[in-house]
Amino acid sequence: MTAAERFLSLSARDLRFEVEELYANYIGCLDEERFEEWPGFFTEPCLYRIIPRENFERGLPLSLWLCENQGYLQDRVTGIRKTLVYGPRMLRRMVSAIRILGWKDGELEVRANYTSYETLTDEPTRVFNVGQYRDKIVVEGDRLKFREKLCVYDSLLVPNSLIFPL
Amino acid sequence: MTAAERFLSLSARDLRFEVEELYANYIGCLDEERFEEWPGFFTEPCLYRIIPRENFERGLPLSLWLCENQGYLQDRVTGIRKTLVYGPRMLRRMVSAIRILGWKDGELEVRANYTSYETLTDEPTRVFNVGQYRDKIVVEGDRLKFREKLCVYDSLLVPNSLIFPL
Amino acid sequence: MTAAERFLSLSARDLRFEVEELYANYIGCLDEERFEEWPGFFTEPCLYRIIPRENFERGLPLSLWLCENQGYLQDRVTGIRKTLVYGPRMLRRMVSAIRILGWKDGELEVRANYTSYETLTDEPTRVFNVGQYRDKIVVEGDRLKFREKLCVYDSLLVPNSLIFPL
């Protein structure tokens, strides 16, 4: 049995376990600022978009971030580590209400709510960006990866600026 | 074996899975504003109350919302869709620390923490309403439904007004 | 088979269930202000620290709270119930992205994100303290307990003051 067949044959309960682990590891990677590992959560090619809900619901294409392959993702990491100029900050992410909509043509569709909290030096923590993950997950090697990850956020306003991924 | 017997015989682990799915679906329904599906999460009759913690702990009856059957729930949906006048807003809900207190006379008692975040047009997302779900769940047909759902919220103040369910 | 052997032999999935229950019960205990039960979540001796991320990452020892055994924990409870003077407040805690890093010498290392929300009388709920749990868990009797619990929080600023545990 291949890894893909094994995942496809999992019960709903066991699949939820695998998906919860994926999200926990994804958030752990970002919150601990191990950004170099972040592209490894995605397939090649992939689609990673951060888009305001208003644009998403109207079918407008404008995204705040758009990465279509590993190169784009790597570019973001390079930005964070080397080229971008920004004040020190920490992001803390939470995920909840994970819903597994099921497999379709080898892709697992998942939705979940996320919140994130930003802390700038000498400032109190504040709500940063809140929205919905709309993800398509596939089996690659022996693990789950994001073929598509949309972060559809509720507020048009992004306080300060978006430096780290969501 | 009836559906009720099947749920009653589930292990603690499998029951947690079912309850987590219920909460994820409940929140997904509300956050995606599929309000017409919301009453379907409740039995007939039912009890849905949104009540400040202070009133709840003192045994005071005053609730912000009180719905005692499907008609009341439907009425809320009609309000949202047709009769209420309110500015556009989005709510994002999170649930955590779900605790399953056990079956008693065919009712499953569950407590969980919830937070919700409101986004008004052209405003940043803010903490909206935070509290505890105190729920009684029963098996109806082949699924779990809320016979009783209390949203006991921490702050007496509700910023803006409460239009959508929690 | 001893309780410890049973826990050590659990599958990753079943262990996640046990750990999720532990965190839910821990948070339920604190949010419902059953503080007398709180020390029971820890071994004797133990280590409970609340420390800003900046200090933690630089290896600086200064903690906001430091409890090294049951006596220290009890002392906190006595403070809350009897000796401290503070205005009425409620804390609501959420946990997410629980990651189980595995057993090592009979200790289970776990990381998770937490957020907490404070509500003062006649004020709206606000973000209070946000950070990461870095925990070491052992089997004692037939249950999991914290031998070490670090609450590493993101903001140097603690609004108001920290009266209740995290």
Residue B154 pLDDT > 90:
yes
**Which of A92, A130, A143 is the mutation pick for testing C, counting most C CBs within 10 A?**
A92
Q: Within a domain: residue C19?
A: yes
**Contact state of B132 with C95 under an 8 Å Cβ cutoff:** no
Q: For the whole model, what pTM was predicted?
A: 0.97
The answer to whether residue A2 neighbours chain C at the CB level (below 8 Å) is no
Q: pLDDT digit string (tens) for C119-142? A: 999 899 999 999 999 999 999 999
Which residues on B lie below 8 Å from A13 (Cβ)? Answer: 14, 17
Domain CATH number, residue C54: 3.10.450.50
The answer to whether residue C17 neighbours chain B at the CB level (below 8 Å) is yes
Q: Give the pLDDT score at C74.
A: 98
Residue B118's closest chain A neighbor by CA? A154
**Phi, psi at A154, each rounded to 5°:** -80, -40
Q: How confident is the model at residue B1 (pLDDT cuts 50, 70, 90)?
A: confident
In chain C, % of residues over pLDDT 90: 93
Which residues on B lie below 8 Å from C112 (Cβ)? Answer: none
Q: Give the pLDDT score at C28.
A: 98
Classify each residue of B47-56 as buried b or exposed e, where b means 16 or more C-beta atoms within 10 Å of its C-beta: bbbbbbbbbb
What is the overall mean pLDDT for chain C? 96
- Chains A and B form CB pairs within 8 A to the count of 66
**Contact state of B115 with C119 under an 8 Å Cβ cutoff:** no
Number of domains in chain A: 1
Q: pLDDT digit string (tens) for B18-67? A: 999 999 999 999 999 999 999 999 999 999 999 999 999 999 989 999 99
Q: Give the pLDDT score at C159.
A: 76
Q: Give the pLDDT score at C161.
A: 87
The answer to whether residue C21 neighbours chain B at the CB level (below 8 Å) is yes
Residue C88 pLDDT > 80:
yes
Per the DSSP assignment, residues forming a β-bridge with A137 are: A108, A146
Q: Give the pLDDT score at A161.
A: 87
**Which of C92, C122, C142 is the mutation pick for testing B, counting most B CBs within 10 A?**
C92
Closest CB to B97 among C95, C119, C124:
C95
What is the mean pLDDT of the segment spanning C36-40? Answer: 98
- C-alpha B23/C-alpha B151 separation (Å) is 13
What are the start-end ranges of the E strands in C12-125?
42-52, 65-67, 89-104, 107-120
**Contact state of B129 with C127 under an 8 Å Cβ cutoff:** no
Q: Give the pLDDT score at C71.
A: 98
Q: How confident is the model at residue A157 (pLDDT cuts 50, 70, 90)?
A: confident
Residue C160 pLDDT > 80:
no
- C-alpha B115/C-alpha A154 separation (Å) is 15
Its domain, for residue B72, covers 3-153
Q: How confident is the model at residue B161 (pLDDT cuts 50, 70, 90)?
A: confident
What is the mean pLDDT of the segment spanning C150-162? Answer: 89
Residue B159 pLDDT > 80:
no
> What string of DSSP letters covers B51-80?
EEHHHHHHT----SEEE-SHHHHHHHHHII
Q: Give the pLDDT score at A6.
A: 94
**Contact state of B113 with C127 under an 8 Å Cβ cutoff:** no
Q: How confident is the model at residue A156 (pLDDT cuts 50, 70, 90)?
A: confident
- Chain A: closest CA distance from residue C71 (Å): 32
Closest CB to C92 among B16, B130, B156:
B130
- C-alpha B84/C-alpha B105 separation (Å) is 39
Closest CB to A96 among B17, B21, B96:
B96
- Asked if residue C119 lies in contact with residue C89, where contact means CB atoms within 8 angstroms, the answer is yes
- Chain A: closest CA distance from residue C40 (Å): 27
- C-alpha C28/C-alpha C85 separation (Å) is 24
Q: Give the pLDDT score at C53.
A: 95
Q: Within a domain: residue C163?
A: no
DSSP letter (8 states) at residue C9? T
Q: Within a domain: residue A159?
A: no
Cis check for the bond before A88: say yes or no (omega within 30 of 0): no
Least confident segment among A21-25, A44-48, A130-134, C120-124:
C120-124
Q: Within a domain: residue C69?
A: yes
Q: Within a domain: residue A164?
A: no
3-class secondary structure, C88: coil
Residue B160 pLDDT > 80:
no
In chain C, % of residues over pLDDT 70: 100
- Chain B: closest CA distance from residue A159 (Å): 7
Q: Give the pLDDT score at A158.
A: 82
Q: Within a domain: residue C165?
A: no
- C-alpha A7/C-alpha B113 separation (Å) is 31
- Cα–Cα–Cα angle for A95, A153, C53, rounded to 5 degrees: 50
Which other chains touch chain A, taking contact as 3+ CB pairs less than 8 Å apart?
B, C
Q: Give the pLDDT score at B156.
A: 86
Residue A61 pLDDT > 90:
no
Q: Within a domain: residue C41?
A: yes
What is the mean pLDDT of the segment spanning B121-146? Answer: 96
Which helix H or strand E contains A53, and what residues bound it? Answer: helix A53-58
Q: Within a domain: residue C166?
A: no
Classify each residue of C35-49 as buried b or exposed e, where b means 16 or more C-beta atoms within 10 Å of its C-beta: beebbebbbeebbbb
**Contact state of C93 with B113 under an 8 Å Cβ cutoff:** yes
Q: Give the pLDDT score at B14.
A: 96
Q: Fill in the amino acid letter for B16.
A: R
Interface of A with C in 47-106 (CB under 8 A): 90, 92-96
**Which of B119, B120, B122, B142 is the mutation pick for testing A, counting most A CBs within 10 A?**
B119
